A and B are shown apart, each in its own frame.
Chain A
């Protein structure tokens, strides 16, 4: 290894809880360094700190021996950082060329120099294998894979000493991946440090000189990639050796007895479901009183599956059938789903959950106004108050009064009330997308207890979560999606953190 390009010393960051702790890394110039870890391990936080998007809490950064403390992305760029983000930073209404060169558009006096823009864009497009596209093509006409290559070209447009690539190949075909890798190697030969974050473990091992594994905000190991295999990476990420029996202790500490299903009654059937986002048919059944988990990496199609089941996104084929007693009812839109007793707690509380500036009573009863109104559609305020109060008592929502606005509640209490909505409307199936995102630890346990109580009373649930621990605490079975395919269904006695992870990675590790 040559001279140290980037040094990280004792870096730490916490939001509600600690996200990164004691990160120490020394990365050489010309090195390709892999960074792997589960969802929520802290990879994105680390990248965001390096590229000046997030302030760090403690620790120091050095670039070429000089102290580096970026306060925004411009600082980072001036210090030679360049980032290709996973959440693409492109503008749909602009052309390819404008997107690629947006950080420094060539100008002639005051006006943009389009001939020069297109010439430079063509060069960069050729690098990433987009030479067949005209530089003035609007970005909106491109496929996701092409957009990803544009993002990469954008990161390459400025001369950089440190190139950070966050999942640069997630949407690419194998052929394109090979091309991108050749390009990365070429860059490294010129002395550029490349930090490469990917879920494609084979690629990481093939491409990178060294690999660091991040787990729960700590770097658990940094090794030469020649000494690693995908199995050691997976066990490193999950924190358990592969040969161990796998069953976590967590499931045994759970206070709720698991019921044995003597005779399982199906509640929700999904048959050959496909949507624009989920091209491969998915089928499964959720039983009465069952908590069905959906695991997978970011972008595996978990939320998309939940949205499709609820009728939020248009189905291309197949469908969802609710079994209500003997009757089978097709579900095509959210209001149909709700009418037949399906509820949904969306991932983003703020934009898809709460009604801001409205009262707790309004927020808690909106899904079941028939229960607080008479036959004429007249709202009964006594009934409204009673129902809301009983929800608040049952879910231990900390608040002053049912008439206060929901904005002043903490995230955890808001989330409880959103789940309470479906208790109020007596939903028999509740779909939950990341039910404890942004919720503190105490409230989290409380939410688990409430959900398990509901399950014990016969409510069926489908839970999407990035935290395997959460799924393993709550669920009776777990479906695993990988690259938008259903790749496995695990029962309690056959799952383990590493088995689930291996399945989640399966579409990305073509060899295993």
Chain B
């Protein structure tokens, strides 16, 4: 128990150190407007990372989330402009598109037993293609209405999107740690064979976790569209890799069985604090990426070292 708490805090302390570091080195980093801007960029990555973490814990991977988010955005754009549907309906259609993509991946990867890596790699391509088809390869301008979701609310400085993402983090955290469903995901990810022998029918779980990830990618599409005010079929490129990076920094194992939603969210925060902080220091894009890459690898090294120490 104590170790669990320490592990959580370890990541949290790293985040705080990073914030302190940039507060002293970069002018204006420690300010309301910086944090407001920073947090309001996060919702899409946060919800995608939630899904990714659940998939990784169950021993799978979902490479398609970035494309699926773009597809969701495209559906929302077309539904709200060409079809002239009210925004809530259009938003739901976007999420539904994500759920549909997740269901297809989940069925192929979970039920039919195809390798999840390949299935979701295929979905990464296919959903991107669908996003182009839906939007006719054009960015669809939606307007100020949808942007209300992404604008900072008065007094608190964060957007409705961000609050919703935080809500999802909490729900997913409880789902993972406090429900039978979450316990089964951990069991399957730790040792699928032992899980099967323990009487867990693993296929429906392998499938549903991909459905959840697809649905969350759909939500991320909505948040991204709201942030931009338009549906860009090129949106979400590389989002899956950012999500994996955040999950890993947050202590999730790519081998399955181990990870935490809260940790992954802190991973998201670390990545964006790092990028914003470096930008404010005037570091160029190539150097930023170099440093981000090093931090990801460093996180895994520290994690390996800590779990190695735990085993001893």
Contacts and interface: CB of A to CB of B under 8 A. Distances in A.
Interface of A: 310, 312, 333-335, 337-339, 343-344, 346, 351-358, 362, 366-367, 369-370, 373, 377-379, 381, 403, 405, 407, 421, 425
A334 B192 CA distance: 13
6 contacts: A312-B197, A351-B193, A358-B190, A362-B183, A367-B198, A425-B199
B199 A334 contact: yes
A357 B190 contact: yes
B190 A367 contact: no
Nearest to A358: B190
Given A333-B201, A355-B195, 18 more contacts: A310-B197, A334-B199, A335-B196, A335-B199, A337-B199, A338-B198, A346-B194, A346-B197, A356-B191, A356-B257, A357-B257, A357-B307, A358-B190, A358-B257, A366-B200, A373-B179, A377-B179, A377-B180
Given A335-B200, A335-B201, A351 B191 contact: yes
Contacts of A407: 311
Nearest to A355: B190
A372 to B, nearest CB: 9
B187 interface: yes
Contact of B196 (A334, A356, A373, A378): A334
B247 interface: no
A356 B190 contact: yes
B209 to A, nearest CB: 15
B9 interface: no
Contact of B178 (A334, A366, A378, A421): A378
A403 B198 CA distance: 20
Contacts of B1: 403
Contacts of B222: none
Interface string B222-248: 000000000000000000000000000
B191 A355 contact: yes
Interface in B151-208: 178-181, 183-184, 186-187, 190-191, 193-201
B257 A355 contact: yes
A357 B258 contact: yes
Contacts of B197: 310, 312, 334, 344, 346, 352-353
Contacts of A366: 183, 187, 195, 198, 200
Contacts of B311: 357, 407
The 7 A-B pairs of least Cβ separation, nearest first, read: A338-B199, A335-B201, A377-B180, A355-B190, A369-B180, A366-B198, A335-B199
A407 B310 CA distance: 10
B180 A373 contact: yes
B193 A352 contact: yes
Q: For A335, A351, A405, which residue has the most chain B Cβ atoms within 10 angstroms?
A: A335
Contacts of A358: 186-187, 190, 257
A355 B257 CA distance: 9
